[in-house]
Amino acid sequence: MNTQSSERGVWSSKLGFILAGAGSAIGLGNIWRFPTTAGQYGGGAFVAVYLVSIALICLAVMIAELTLGRHTLRNPVGAYNELAPRSSWKYLGLLGVITGWGISSFYSVVAGWTLGYIFKTVTGVFTDLGPAEIESVFVAFTSNPVASIGCHAVFMTLTMLILYGGVKAGIEKWSKILMPVLLVILVLLVIRSVTLEGAAEGLAFYIKPNWGNLTGEGVVAAVGQAFFSLSLGMGTMITYGSYLSKKENLVSSAVWVASLDTLIALLAGFAIMPAIFAFGLDPAKGAGLIFVVLPNVFNKIFLGNLFGTGFFVLLAVAAVTSLISIVEVPAAYFIDEKKMSRKKAVTISGLGAFLVGIPAALSLGSVDSLTNLVQIRGKSQGFLDLMNIIFGQYSLIIGSLGVAVFVGWKWGVAKANAEIAEGHPKYSAQAVFAFFIRFVAPIAVAALLICLILFPDAF
Ligand code: PFF
């Protein structure tokens, strides 16, 4: 029944999928967004909400997305179309495709900064500079239109080149090589950071929940961060699941990807929080945290340039394996639904994201109207911030709610469970999955959205 276009593909092994899936999940979300947001929203309490969301909501949603993808062998729009023909569900898939564009545009801009910072740390630009000078290097770099659009262009080109190779030759091969490198560099950084003098305060901030610090806004940010980090809510895992063979165990694949992703996020926090406190810096600095604060840290530690370079290489590696999975969603849509060649589909998706990313790249000081686009809760937000909030937070929360309702109530858990059982002969957790995907996940997410509408001031 399902005809796979020759432009599609399939993972060569379970390990290949786990590495590619983890490659998608682990990215700027873990290493840049997670510590930054945890620092802004109260440290330990934010981390606790984030971890609870992963266990109670995200795992079930991830299994649901993989199941939808493998059952239909389709991109998100095609998947909903096949299971609920002539219904409005396809718009949920379309929201995913549009969200893919939205996220990839600003994601590539931030990823581009990592390229600039590799160059800066290798050439020792930060050596002997004080905090104020380091901040002005960041501001000068991000507010220079040629530098920021140029790095964005290089990063997007790299991503498109990998995607031209297709699923096995492209995504899987690169993930296999790059993911283990990332883990090694991160562990080295953690060891250095937690052994710094004064690290204990940062560890306490990070590990001990101080519930008084947590706001409603912080709860939404933590739940949104969990979806962002696990690549859920826009169909990435539907698309990746569609390349999984029937022999694979979807539950253990999902548990592996979620565990590796959470491990890397927590490690990133251990690498960054203690160091920030050890050097008396501000954890709530916001989007520039890593780029402004860390060069100070690297400056003050032994072999700082080496650590700094390693860190930004790691960030670039993590970002590229995620960005390919984000751009793959609109690309798979064009391949399946519009019958395009992979080359054309990737070119259109990547170029489209590049163009939308231009205003994002110009919104860090280059163009004032884009830098101070709107006021939200008394804080001026630029184009990039706004894209991050709309697509990186709300779209994913809505998309994940949609997936849970679709699998739990429309397509039905019986069919989902039958698909899961295909690669998992000893599957006995049917009732557990049904309970989480029908009740726990949708009720928790819906309650969050309702609170957001009813009590906006608490958020
Ligand atoms: N999970 C990626 C990260 O943590 O950086 C970002 C991401 C990838 C978000 C894929 C959404 C997505 F569908």
Whether the pLDDT of residue 79 is over 80: the answer is yes
What SS3 state is found at 227? helix
> Cβ(117) to ligand 1 under 6 A?
no
Whether the pLDDT of residue 459 is over 70: the answer is no
| CB distance 233 to 37 below 8 Å | no
Ligand 1 atom 11 nearest Cα: 231
Which residue do the tokens 């989480």 mark? 436
Query: What is the predicted pLDDT for the residue at 28?
Result: 96
Q: Which atom of ligand 1 is nearest to the CA of 233?
A: 13
Kindly report, residue by residue over 219-228, the tens digit of the pLDDT.
999 999 999 9
> Cβ(305) to ligand 1 under 6 A?
no
> Cβ(220) to ligand 1 under 6 A?
no
Compute the distance from residue 228 Cα to the ligand 1 centre, in Å.
Answer: 5
Kindly report, residue by residue over 106-132, the tens digit of the pLDDT.
999 999 999 999 999 999 999 999 878
More confident call, 385 vs 343:
343
- Of 30, 228, 388, the one to substitute when testing ligand 1's pocket (max ligand atoms within 8 A of C-beta) is 228
Query: What is the predicted pLDDT for the residue at 3?
Result: 41
End-to-end CA distance of the chain: 47
pLDDT band for position 257 (cuts 50, 70, 90): very high
Which residue do the tokens 């991160």 mark? 186
Average pLDDT over residues 358-381: 90
Query: What is the predicted pLDDT for the residue at 55?
Result: 97
pLDDT band for position 458 (cuts 50, 70, 90): low
Residue 98 and residue 105: Cα distance in Å, rounded? 11
Kindly report, residue by residue over 391-425, the tens digit of the pLDDT.
999 999 999 999 999 999 999 999 999 999 998 98
Average pLDDT over residues 251-278: 93
pLDDT band for position 306 (cuts 50, 70, 90): confident
* Pair of tokens at residue 258: 């979620």
Ligand 1 atom 10 nearest Cα: 231
Query: What is the predicted pLDDT for the residue at 376?
Result: 81
Kindly report, residue by residue over 267-302, the tens digit of the pLDDT.
999 988 998 888 788 888 777 788 877 787 788 778
Whether the pLDDT of residue 357 is over 80: the answer is yes
Compute the distance from residue 320 Cα to the ligand 1 centre, in Å.
Answer: 11
* H/E stretch holding 374: strand 374-376
Percent of the chain with pLDDT over 90: 64
Average pLDDT over residues 5-17: 68
Query: What is the predicted pLDDT for the residue at 1?
Result: 36
Query: What is the predicted pLDDT for the residue at 9?
Result: 66
Average pLDDT over residues 332-353: 95
What SS3 state is found at 387? helix
Compute the distance from residue 363 Cα to the ligand 1 centre, in Å.
Answer: 22
> Cβ(325) to ligand 1 under 6 A?
yes
> Cβ(21) to ligand 1 under 6 A?
no
Mean pLDDT of the chain: 90
Kindly report, residue by residue over 128-166, the tens digit of the pLDDT.
998 789 989 999 999 999 999 999 999 999 999 988 987
Question: Residue-wise over 38-58: b if at least 16 C-beta within 10 A, else e?
Answer: bbbbbbbbbbbbbeebbeebb
More confident call, 37 vs 175:
37
Query: What is the predicted pLDDT for the residue at 2?
Result: 41
More confident call, 135 vs 355:
355
Ligand 1 atom 7 nearest Cα: 231
Distance of CA 230 to the CA centre of its chain: 6
Average pLDDT over residues 335-345: 95
Could you state, in order of their start, the residue ranges of all structural domains in the chain?
A: 14-402+438-458
> Cβ(27) to ligand 1 under 6 A?
yes
Query: What is the predicted pLDDT for the residue at 452?
Result: 84
169 contact partners, CB below 8 Å, separation of at least 6: none
Kindly report, residue by residue over 16-39, the tens digit of the pLDDT.
778 778 889 999 999 999 998 899
Whether the pLDDT of residue 215 is over 70: the answer is yes
More confident call, 311 vs 38:
38
Whether the pLDDT of residue 5 is over 90: the answer is no
Query: What is the predicted pLDDT for the residue at 7?
Result: 65
Question: Residue-wise over 253-266: b if at least 16 C-beta within 10 A, else e?
Answer: bbebbbebbbebbb
pLDDT band for position 240 (cuts 50, 70, 90): confident
Query: What is the predicted pLDDT for the residue at 444?
Result: 97
Q: Which fold has domain 14-402+438-458?
A: Hydantoin permease (1.10.4160)
- The reply to whether the predicted model has a pTM over 0.75 is yes
Compute the distance from residue 453 Cα to the ligand 1 centre, in Å.
Answer: 26
Question: Picking from 325-334, 369-378, 441-450, which range would have the lowest pLDDT averaged per residue?
Answer: 369-378
Residue 331 and residue 379: Cα distance in Å, rounded? 35
Average pLDDT over residues 331-345: 94
What SS3 state is found at 381? strand
Question: Picking from 7-11, 78-82, 262-266, which range would have the lowest pLDDT averaged per residue?
Answer: 7-11
